[in-house]
Amino acid sequence: MDVQSIRRDFPILSREVNGKPLVYLDNGASAQKPEVVIDAISQAYSMEYANVHRGLHFLSNLATEKYEAVRGKIARFLGADEDEIVMNSGTTAGINLVSYGWAAPRLQAGDEIVLSTMEHHANIVPWHFLRERQGVVLRWVDPELDGSLDPQKVIDAIGPKTRLVAITQLSNVLGTVVDVKAICAAARERGVPVLVDGSQGAVHMPVDVKEIGCDFYVITGHKLYGPSGTGAIYIRRERMEEMRPFMGGGDMIREVSKDAVSYTDPPMKFEAGTPGIVQTIGLGAAIDYVQGIGMDAIAAHEKTLAEYANTRLKGLNWLNIQGNAPGKAAIFSFTLDGAAHAHDISTILDKKGVAVRAGHHCAQPLMEHLGVTATCRASFGMYNTTEEVDVLIDALELAHELFA
């Protein structure tokens, strides 16, 4: 894998910040975009734009063809069939679709949803809606001291009242990789569906939803080197048949009269309104790009980065790394000894051109479990290098000198 060649594909990586070369380590929040994605968006807006699905003219047919082709790209990327893919604005939309369209009609007071404490708020808040409105009980499974999540503890939390397991494949804070395949297998034996949050997982490793055995799998485009406002959810066919529409409007109807409405077949049944046409075409270009490199190659490169970063960060005895599970991804959350707040550390790093995240990372239950209010997070992508790890270390040493 030629990382320097890949870096040249991303225009923003050539710029400077505060007079320093940009070291972008905020990929867990959102990844940068390669030129092919930018070009695809520009081409779609400048020469190919029209609304999809409704028109019979040339531009509408062209836009529809390009838009719908992305459904197939996502399906192949996830190891699914095209009619199992619902395209949307991202993970949040996908999980809310499951909450409103599948869970709300069938869960009653006292029914349980099993979650891990590592979940992103996108995989927490929709279930809190059901807790508030329908009396659903949320059962939490904590990670181990090293940040790993024991799949058996998740399995043991599945009881006679469990109606759903909602679990991340890869923690956006700790980088922990979860054995979702084992969880799905055990849950299926008990007749319990599983939703897997693949927002981070699909970026850093090959994914095959049929092999995982999940019922729902959500991804978001902006972390996958694609545009914001894009994403998709894989839904097992039998679950699709159990779901009611979440939103009503154009594209999801078959017939509408004053007295009745009938819906079209899935997946269009769950895609109301004019979609993000151009953004989705950009997502298709991003998927083509990462598959051209190869997810195995990306995973191998990031494994090397994770090992190197882990070694270097561990050499800073005043740095507190939160969670260091075996086989973790190249995501590191940390604090400094003393009174320095994560925001202060991030500001110092920014002066050196290093972009990291600071805050609770949309994971406040995990922050509470860790006993911290906020952390800094350095999250790596396929275009990052070991030399950039060294720049991060130098910047952290400066922050330590200033705050010691």
Q: State pLDDT tens for residues 181-191.
A: 999 999 999 99
- The answer to whether residues 187 and 275 belong to one domain is yes
The residue-averaged pLDDT of 232-256 equals 95
Res 204: pLDDT? 97
Res 340: pLDDT? 85
- The answer to whether residues 336 and 252 belong to one domain is no
The residue-averaged pLDDT of 34-40 equals 98
pTM (two decimals): 0.97
- The answer to whether residues 196 and 276 belong to one domain is yes
Which residue, 292, 319, 350, sits at the end of a domain?
Answer: 292
- The answer to whether residues 61 and 210 belong to one domain is yes
- The answer to whether residues 209 and 106 belong to one domain is yes
The residue-averaged pLDDT of 27-42 equals 98
Res 153: pLDDT? 98
Question: Do 1 and 300 touch, CB atoms closer than 8 A?
Answer: yes
- The answer to whether residues 250 and 306 belong to one domain is no
Can you tell me which residue has the tokens 């994914």?
Answer: 207
When pLDDT is cut at 50, 70 and 90, the band that residue 54 belongs to is confident
How many structural domains does the chain have?
A: 2
When pLDDT is cut at 50, 70 and 90, the band that residue 55 belongs to is confident
- The answer to whether residues 299 and 284 belong to one domain is no
- The answer to whether residues 257 and 336 belong to one domain is no
In Å, how far are 73, 140, 159, 353 from 137, measured between CA atoms? 37, 10, 12, 45
- Rounded to a whole number of angstroms, the CA Rg of the chain reads 22
- The answer to whether residues 231 and 274 belong to one domain is yes
Which residue, 234, 264, 292, sits at the end of a domain?
Answer: 292
Contact residues for 344 (Cβ-Cβ < 8 A; gap 6+):
399, 403
- The answer to whether residues 369 and 266 belong to one domain is no
Residue 200 predicted with pLDDT over 80: yes
- The answer to whether residues 162 and 288 belong to one domain is yes
Q: How far apart are CA 330 and CA 302, in angstroms?
A: 6
* CATH number reported for the structural domain that contains residue 211 in this entry: 3.40.640.10
Can you tell me which residue has the tokens 């490169």?
Answer: 301
Contact residues for 393 (Cβ-Cβ < 8 A; gap 6+):
312, 313, 315, 316
Tokens coding 96: 């809310």
- The answer to whether residues 16 and 123 belong to one domain is no
Q: Could you tell me the maximum CA-CA distance found in the chain, to the nearest angstrom?
A: 72
* CATH number reported for the structural domain that contains residue 356 in this entry: 3.90.1150.10
Residue 58 predicted with pLDDT over 90: yes
The residues carrying an active-site annotation are: 362
Residue 339 predicted with pLDDT over 90: no
Phi/psi at 228 (nearest 5 deg)?
-70, 160
Question: Which DSSP symbol is given to 99?
Answer: I
Q: How far apart are CA 323 and CA 142, in angstroms?
A: 12
Over the stretch 273-325, which tens digit does the pLDDT of each residue have?
Answer: 999 999 999 999 999 999 999 999 999 999 999 999 999 999 999 999 999 99
Where would I find the H helices in 252-315? 277-293, 295-314
Residue 404 predicted with pLDDT over 90: no
380 — alpha (psi -120 to 50), left (phi > 0) or beta? Answer: beta
Lowest mean pLDDT among 148-162, 328-342, 349-363: 328-342
Task: Domain of residue 308: give its range.
Answer: 3-30+295-403
For the chain, the average pLDDT equals: 97
Which residue, 292, 326, 353, sits at the end of a domain?
Answer: 292
